[in-house]
Structure 1
Amino acid sequence: MSATIPLEEVREKKEDPELKLMQETVYDLIKDIQDPEKPQTLEDLAVVYEDGVTVERIDEDQYLVNIEFTPTIPHCSLASIIGLCLRTKVQRGLPDKHKIDIFIKKGTHSTGDEITKQINDKERIMAAMENPNLRELVDRCVKDED
């Protein structure tokens, strides 16, 4: 059963300048991530978009960052890699006082629910990043261009 958030609370969140700044900061971090197989950024390919980033306050100085993305095709074999890149870039770019949840937009990938589960599982993330080839691919995708 889903809880209903009072309209005043929704307005308050949207009007909170600190949350808006954090949302913009997160989007600025992820928009320039390179696609793992194409020479464009995730923003260029419309994989990430401003409306896909939301930030909520968990407590006084901790945030919940939600990132929704849309793979380029419904059977995209690199969707989990893209999720890993998103997580890595945000973790490296923000202070430790945040929780990150990453989601594939509903209905845009044939195994979206399974991949969403994978990219939010700490143990799977740690295991994936222990693979040197995978870590190198992620590092290449999230590297800041000079």
Structure 2
Amino acid sequence: MCSGEKNMETRLVNENPIVYPKRERRVRTDQINDDTNEDIKDPEHRDLSLEDLNIVTEESVEVDADKSYVRITITPTLPHCHLPQVIGLCIYAALLQSLPARFKVDVRIAPGSHANEASVNKQLGDKERVAAGLENPSFVAQFGSVHASV
């Protein structure tokens, strides 16, 4: 375990996040199959999902089945959140597991929601970095069993 991971376990950056009530999900009429109803858990608060924290909302998910395109816009809980790249990779991993291979996935930070928005979007938009992150054994061991509810 690296020192950053140990530090994350002992000291939470956002110790008291706002938890939002779950909303009833609408029935999707597109061609996306959602075989799972597990949510992606927040890397810092393992008992809360990205939906619980409003990091991902139904409105932040865009699906164009005809163009085989999915865009997820995430809103970190803090402007200086240190985990948006990890959260983005978790979303990529979940979507790659649950969507047909023909889909292009785009994960972005909501405009104005993070102090390093441009840098995070650049990293999440770099397909080589994303592929390397998804192949990283420590990432797969820690986050490999995530599923999406999109």
User: TM-score normalized by structure 1?
Assistant: 0.72
Which runs of 5 or more structure 1 residues have no equivalent in the other structure?
1-15
The residue number in structure 2 matching 1:43 is: 51
Q: Which has the higher contact order (CA 8 A, sep 6+)?
A: 2
Percent of counterpart pairs with the same letter? 37
**1:87 alignment partner, one of 75, 89, 92:** 92
Give 1:1-146 correspondences, 5 Å limit.
17-18=29-30, 22=32, 25=34, 32-38=39-45, 39-56=47-64, 57-58=66-67, 63-140=68-145, 142=146
Moved over 4 A (4+): none
Partner SS for 1:92: helix
TM-fit CA distance, 1:132: 1.7
* Counterpart-to-counterpart distance in 1, 2:107 and 2:135: 20
**Greater strand share, 1 or 2?**
1
Asked if the contact 2:98/2:147 (under 8 Å) is kept, the reply is no
Which runs of 5 or more structure 2 residues have no equivalent in the other structure?
1-27
CA-based RMSD? 2.5
| Matched residue count | 119
TM-fit CA distance, 1:131: 2.5
TM-fit CA distance, 1:17: 3.7
TM-fit CA distance, 1:44: 0.5
TM-fit CA distance, 1:32: 0.8
Partner SS for 2:69: strand
**Greater helix share, 1 or 2?**
1
